[in-house]
Amino acid sequence: MAPHIQTLGELRAQSGAQPRTVKQEVRDNLVRKLQAGDVLFPGIIGYQDTVIPQLVNAILSRHNFILLGLRGQAKSRILRSLTDLLDPFIPVVPGCEIHDDPRAPICGACRARVTREGDHLPIAWLPRDARFVEKLATPDVTIADMVGDIDPIKAAQSGLNLSDELTMHYGLLPRANRGIFAINELPDLAGKIQVGLFNILQEGDVQIKGYPIRLPLDLLVVFTANPEDYTARGKIITPLKDRIGSEIRTHYPALRTNAIAITQQEAWTERAGGLRVEIPSYVREVVEEVAFQARSDRKVDKRSGVSQRLPITTLELVVSNAERRALANHEGVVVPRVTDLYAALPSITGKFELEYEGELRGAEQVARDLIRAAIGAVFTGVFDGVDTRSVVEWFDLGGSLPLSDVSSADEVIGATRGVQGIRDIAAHAGVAGGAPAPVVAAAIDFVLEGLCAQRKISRSDERGYTAGTEAVPKSRSRRDESPLDDDFKVPGGKKKYYN
């Protein structure tokens, strides 16, 4: 079926041009993709063995469904990608607000027009992108917004009875007819409005204002919601949940490699202006590990979740800080360092909610602890089995390095030239021979920050890197990976450690 067909008569003459429901259309197109081995839901990473099989089953079953998940789990993106399962174009009656099918119209005006014009009725073609209607649920949404209302002015001007369907002002649901209707954050929708969805989910029709007007709409209705009612905004009423065919749970990336792939896909890291951006793999790992640490840290509210937007925006700020340093020092390549994560604190602190212990600690200090723990975790993996005692001994003998995140690559390399073994250790971070100075400096920076995270050396904004003076309390359990500053005290003056 192609848009070159211009009249109803030509459409009826086409073999295989019989009407079908949206759910059947989506199912048929999904079956073809499965048979052809096409990639389903491109851009959705980490759900191949969990969410996507459940989603495929729901579509094959012709279910309305709901995606339950915390913020930043690609729920809205999944719903918008459903348009790929729609036909490229469908025939509609020109000018009809509810996209009526000229072969089987449901509104009175279109039925009258088909009767009057017959096979000579011109038809229009609606593209798939115009068949997706999305509504963010808010407490102020009314039945009139969702379903529609009677327009008395239209009735008076046309001399029609109020019960005539030609007097209706259509809401979002009728305007989404023959398409996909998505409601985001369903619990925010008032209970009485959720009741108004019963008919469309079960019987497939809507009724306006109690008048005997019935519209048998053709819709695939999908929802998103947060499973944790941490904001006490509302809930999904039980009868509505009963009418939703499938409930699909989303989740955060289980593997760091999947998380890196998502961030690499979404983050804006390619910068204009002639500077080449080269992000070391260990920097990407540390950025992702910050989110993993936050999701497991007991000072961070688990019910609120830690969005995947945290590493995405963090990486963008990390690259920007490296870009600022490269521009100031006239370096030709932008190479982020792990110390650049501290410049990304404005992004990190706004991406999580704190428990009571975290509130005592403060959002910025919690974020610093998470960064330090993330550096330590990645450093341990990259430098497993590498002997770093020569570097630690250099600091123990009184050495110090007054470096910061604004130090140029040449300054970092020059200042560490006398630190025995640091270049050889840095080579384990994947620095090839003849690598540019910014790449070498970033690897050296990683070594120094990793040793700081392990409490083997210290760093301060005033003195730079010096010998380690802090010791990890013996009473602290290894399950608490987030290091604490010794000056954190509770009322009474005693230092507090977490077991």
Q: Write the CATH number for 227.
A: 3.40.50.300
Q: Does one domain contain both 65 and 193?
A: yes
Last residue of a domain, one of 248, 282, 317: 248
Q: Does one domain contain both 238 and 282?
A: no
Last residue of a domain, one of 248, 264, 281: 248
Instruction: Answer yes or no: is 2 within a domain.
Output: no
Average pLDDT over residues 54-76: 95
For residue 333, pLDDT over 80 is answered with yes
For residue 316, pLDDT over 70 is answered with yes
Q: Does one domain contain both 213 and 271?
A: no
19-28, 103-112, 469-478 — most confident range: 19-28
Q: What is the pLDDT of residue 154?
A: 64
Q: Give the whole-angstrom CA distance, residue 287 versus residue 50.
A: 25
For residue 121, pLDDT over 90 is answered with yes
Going by pLDDT thresholds of 50, 70 and 90, the confidence category of residue 206 is confident
Q: Does one domain contain both 226 and 273?
A: no
Q: Does one domain contain both 424 and 291?
A: yes
More confident residue, 150 or 431: 431
For residue 205, pLDDT over 90 is answered with no
Instruction: Answer yes or no: is 482 within a domain.
Output: no
Q: What is the pLDDT of residue 159?
A: 61
Instruction: Answer yes or no: is 330 within a domain.
Output: yes
Average pLDDT over residues 401-415: 93
Average pLDDT over residues 339-353: 94
Q: Does one domain contain both 98 and 230?
A: yes
**One-letter amino acid identity for 254?**
A
Q: What is the pLDDT of residue 481?
A: 40
Tell me the percentage of the chain whose pLDDT exceeds 90: 61
Tokens of 180: 């996909």
For residue 227, pLDDT over 70 is answered with yes
Q: Does one domain contain both 276 and 176?
A: no
Instruction: Answer yes or no: is 475 within a domain.
Output: no
Q: What is the pLDDT of residue 485?
A: 43
100-109, 137-146, 182-191, 363-372 — most confident range: 363-372
Q: Does one domain contain both 365 and 408?
A: yes
For residue 354, pLDDT over 70 is answered with yes
Average pLDDT over residues 196-216: 74
Q: What are phi and psi of 90, to 5 degrees?
A: -130, 150
Instruction: Answer yes or no: is 488 within a domain.
Output: no
Q: Does one domain contain both 330 and 379?
A: yes
Q: What is the pLDDT of residue 477?
A: 36
Q: Does one domain contain both 182 and 119?
A: yes
Can you give the residue range of the structural domain that contains 216?
A: 8-248
Instruction: Answer yes or no: is 481 within a domain.
Output: no
- What are 231-262's pLDDT values in tens digits? 445 688 888 889 999 999 999 999 999 999 99
The pTM of the full predicted model, rounded to 2 decimals, is 0.84
Q: What is the pLDDT of residue 208?
A: 66
Mean per-residue pLDDT over the chain, rounded: 86
Buried b vs exposed e over 116-128: b needs ≥16 C-beta within 10 Å? eeeeebebbbbeb
Average pLDDT over residues 60-73: 94
Q: Does one domain contain both 244 and 262?
A: no
Average pLDDT over residues 59-68: 96
Instruction: Answer yes or no: is 354 within a domain.
Output: yes
Instruction: Answer yes or no: is 473 within a domain.
Output: no
Last residue of a domain, one of 248, 266, 293: 248
Look at 12-16, 170-174, 265-269, 440-444 and tell me which has the smallest mean pLDDT. Answer: 12-16
Q: What is the pLDDT of residue 235?
A: 83
- What are 463-495's pLDDT values in tens digits? 889 987 543 333 333 334 444 344 434 344 443
For residue 2, pLDDT over 60 is answered with no
Q: What is the pLDDT of residue 335?
A: 96
Average pLDDT over residues 142-156: 73
For residue 361, pLDDT over 50 is answered with yes
Tokens of 403: 């470096």
Burial class (CB in 10 A: 0-12, 13-18, 19+), 497: middle
Q: Does one domain contain both 217 and 327?
A: no
Tokens of 338: 């792990």
Number of domains in the chain: 2
For residue 344, pLDDT over 90 is answered with yes
7-16, 78-87, 197-206 — most confident range: 78-87
Q: What is the pLDDT of residue 234?
A: 67
Q: What is the pLDDT of residue 304?
A: 85
Average pLDDT over residues 223-229: 82
Q: What is the pLDDT of residue 156?
A: 60
Listed in sequence order, the residues at least 6 apart from 482 whose beta carbon sits closer than 8 Å to its beta carbon are 293, 297, 299, 366, 369, 370, 372, 373
